[in-house]
Amino acid sequence: MSDLFSLLSVGSSSMSAQNSGIAIATNNVANVNTEGYSKERVGDVASGTPVRLQDNLLTGQIQTAAGSLAMSQAFADALASLETGMVGGGATVDEQIANLFSKAGQASAAPTDSVSRDAVVAAARDLVAGIQRRAAAVAQARKDANTRIGDNAAQATALAKQLAAANAAVAKTQSPAALDQRDKVAKQLGELVGGKARVDHDGQMRYVLDGGAVLVDGIHAATLAATPDAATGNTKLEVVNGAARRDVTSAIGGGKIGADLKFRDQNVAQASGKLDQLAFDVTSSVNAVHTANAGLDGVSGRPMFTPVAQVAGAASAMAVDPALLADSKLLALSAPGAGPGDNTGALAMFSLATQNVATGGTTLGESALGIVSDVAQSSANAKGDVTRDGLVTDNLAGLRDSLAGVDTQEELTNLARFEHASTAMGKFVTTIDGMLGSLINSL
């Protein structure tokens, strides 16, 4: 008799387990399209507790890959924008430099011709406008990068708080949904700041930025503060934890923020510096020729471009000499004392096109080409990185899906299996119950 009661108990437990299975399968199907959801299975049969299928190593890889992809994509987007600014809107700077020297060559055939002289001055004015436009595009790129860094830092701070809250929820409930939410937030944080999330023995997730600064420590979240750096004019980033502040500007090397920092501090800084150097070199070398020659009035010593004292800021400060702009007769196309029909100055200016007068031992045209070429090469590499990181992310998504993704057909099969098992157990209990009844009645 006692065995029959045991069997009833077994039947009851089994029915409970099958019902848990039904509930879990139903929950899996309900979350088939929920981002970051990890499939659940019946764990402890007796209690019916669900087990979340996931792999910590794989989860970490996915977070890292998400950070890399976000960084590549943001870096490629920023470079594409800068590239458009450098080559968009008409002739490129190298073409404008060539045009200036070409017009000087043209004027060498008619140095007293006002039309030819005006064309040289117009080409100089166009070159200045072109260099200034590129300088403005580079400055705008820097400004945009700083704005994005600030916006993303604020978003990262909000996500850090969410991650701390998710840690608290995990500590409290250990529910799979809370764990999923925590992984999802960690992934989003990785997309913004790179770094790494690790789950320690206490079950709490800690989020550590590149360089070691801790952004989230269990249920405590620090702030990623973006503030203007008075020395550089750029936005700097600090991890603020109570009274402690740690500058992480140069440490963050991943995510969207890492991309913008790299873009701003490497590509934009390089383009800006080279553009200034080019403007300085053009001004210096052309002025050297221009001052050595004379205008139609026979006077020498006048510059074509307003002289600039230093390389820094030369691109935005560059200007055609106002007196020359007002009167092209001042254009120095003749050697001093040689007469207005002499074209020594025009020929000297034309020959600058092929002289290695730019810093670095190249021509001015090559120097201008190098600026765009560097941006273009970086942009092309970044596009390749996006493709590579996309493939890695996609592959990892496949691995995750293989392990933890919900397959509706599989879940429906499980549902049917659990339903049938539950029905069978019901019949089993009914049978045992009948046997018990018969036994009791026969006593």
Residue type, 342: D
Contact status: 397 vs other proteins (CB under 8 A): yes
- Region near other proteins per CB under 8 A, out of 66-74, 137-145, 234-242, 394-402: 394-402
Note whether 329 and 295 are within 8 A (CB): yes
- Pick 402 or 431: Cβ nearer other proteins: 402
Note whether 85 and 140 are within 8 A (CB): yes
Looking at 129, 219, 376, 435, which residue binds other proteins (CB under 8 A)?
376
Site size for other proteins (CB under 8 A): 63
Contact status: 180 vs other proteins (CB under 8 A): no
256-295 binders of other proteins (CB under 8 A) = none
Contact status: 377 vs other proteins (CB under 8 A): yes
Q: Smallest distance, Å, CB 279 to other proteins?
A: 18
Contact status: 416 vs other proteins (CB under 8 A): no
Q: Smallest distance, Å, CB 90 to other proteins?
A: 13
Contact status: 415 vs other proteins (CB under 8 A): no
Q: Smallest distance, Å, CB 319 to other proteins?
A: 23
Rounded Cα distance between 153 and 157, Å, is 6
Q: Smallest distance, Å, CB 171 to other proteins?
A: 31
Contact status: 350 vs other proteins (CB under 8 A): yes
- Region near other proteins per CB under 8 A, out of 79-87, 133-141, 194-202, 312-320: 79-87
Q: How far is CA 86 from the centre of its chain?
A: 19
Q: Smallest distance, Å, CB 411 to other proteins?
A: 9
Strands 235-241 and 223-228 turn out to be antiparallel
Name, in order, each residue with C-beta under 8 angstroms of 413's C-beta and a sequence gap of 6 or more. none
Q: How far is CA 56 from the centre of its chain?
A: 26
Contact status: 394 vs other proteins (CB under 8 A): yes
Rounded Cα distance between 91 and 88, Å, is 8
Helix (H), strand (E) at residue 43: strand 40-44
Q: How far is CA 381 from the centre of its chain?
A: 14
- Pick 98 or 425: Cβ nearer other proteins: 98
Looking at 383, 392, 424, 426, which residue binds other proteins (CB under 8 A)?
383
Contact status: 132 vs other proteins (CB under 8 A): no
Note whether 237 and 225 are within 8 A (CB): yes
Contact status: 392 vs other proteins (CB under 8 A): no
Report the DSSP beta bridge partners of residue 107: none
- Work out the number of other CB atoms within 10 angstroms of the CB of residue 327: 14
Rounded Cα distance between 189 and 176, Å, is 20
Q: Smallest distance, Å, CB 114 to other proteins?
A: 7
Rounded Cα distance between 219 and 232, Å, is 35
Rounded Cα distance between 160 and 357, Å, is 53
94-123 binders of other proteins (CB under 8 A) = 94-95, 97-99, 101-110, 112-116
- Token pair 């980033």 in the structure block, residue: 237
The dihedral formed by the CA atoms of 33, 35, 38 and 40, expressed in degrees to the nearest 10: -40
Contact status: 395 vs other proteins (CB under 8 A): no
Binding site for other proteins (CB under 8 A): 32-33, 79-80, 83-84, 87, 92, 94-95, 97-99, 101-110, 112-116, 296, 334, 338-343, 347, 350, 353, 365, 369, 372-373, 375-377, 379-380, 383, 394, 397-399, 401-403, 405-410, 412
